[in-house]
Amino acid sequence: MFIRPLLTSLTVATLAILGNAAAGQLQAILDFGPNPTNVEMFIYRPAIVVANPALIVAIHYCTGTAQAYFTGTQYATLADQYGFLVIYPDAPDSGGCWDVHTNATLIHDAGGDSLAIASVVRYAIANYNVDPNRVFATGTSSGAMMTNVLAGAYPDLFKAGAAFAGVPYGCFAGPDLWNTACATGSTSKTPQEWGDLVRNGYPGYSGARPKMQIWQGSLSAKYSIPANQTLTSSFSDTTLDYKNFAEGVKQWTNIFGYYITPVSTSENSPISGWTRSIHGPNFQAIVATGVDHNIPVQENDVLAWFGLTGTATTTTTSSPTSTAPPEALQTHWGQCGGCVRCRHNFCLDL
């Protein structure tokens, strides 16, 4: 077993207050298998691990890190309580964004960041005695996009996913890390077209699909631009538009053969002002009314969805953000969240 302590930690605004109080620290996993993009992997192992533990892959937002998501969410603290393992991937991109756009990452075992995550899951099953029937993925923003990618390209490995403020599988597909059409809600497909994208992620696969839970704030996040900059006409003034939520509903209801109209709706679930739509046993869609891209992660609800606990509590938990450079105006994160230096030299709130 190749592990070493993670010696460095990152200070992330707000997370220290709302994040975890885990008893241990992250350890790096080395030599875990095919890793074409050099994704780093870190594991949290509680002091007491149950026999054949479950595994949650918790995937950070853009400009984030494995350490930031470890610090800023409560999955590790809950692992102390329930004895499961948590793996935190660390994106190799200089801006901390995940590759959710290349053909390689979107196709089973073809390459990209997703193959690295699949490799570490296989390694964990083989070396940590992880129960292969209890492997799950969750993430925020760019990490939510990767959660959708993993559910589409690796349905043989993951049994459930929970995506906070992402976009449908394949929505960002294209030559560039950033996809304006998808982010601004201009990409619209039929349920069949969205479903076909997922099915094409693993050609020939006929097994069970991971059940999915998608979460979205009803307010679109805004670009934040320094006073001396202006957006060109090629950009919208919103990103990761709320329209993507409806497109995600189309996608996963098609995969499971459910109606787009939910079979039941629960108001104030899991917290006041949020609405949970249940389309069937394998798909839920939760809207956080009046919340923007900074949707607070609901870890207890996620664990209940994964079948690791009982009924979810209604406690609001963490809201990960990254610390922006002094000149940045942004307060949210997205596929290229934080102060996005790669976007025409001004900060975009993604």
Q: Which residues are catalytic?
A: 141
Specify the 3-state DSSP secondary structure of 70: helix
Tokens, residue 331: 């307060």
Specify the 3-state DSSP secondary structure of 223: coil
Q: Are 90 and 42 in contact (CB under 8 A)?
A: yes
Phi, psi (degrees; rounded to nearest 5) at 4: -145, 150
Q: Within 10 Å of residue 316's Cβ, how many Cβ atoms?
A: 15
Strand partners, 287: 216, 275
Q: Within 10 Å of residue 17's Cβ, how many Cβ atoms?
A: 8
d(CA 71, CA 84) in angstroms, rounded, equals 17
Q: Within 10 Å of residue 42's Cβ, how many Cβ atoms?
A: 25
* DSSP sequence for 107-148: STTS-HHHHHHHHHHHHHHHHS---TTSEEEEEETHHHHHHH
Report the side by side order of strands in the sheet with 3-5: 3-5, 27-29, 40-44, 85-90, 55-59, 135-140, 160-164, 211-217, 283-288, 274-280, 264-267
State the DSSP H helix or E strand holding residue 213, giving kind and residue range, or none if neither: strand 211-217
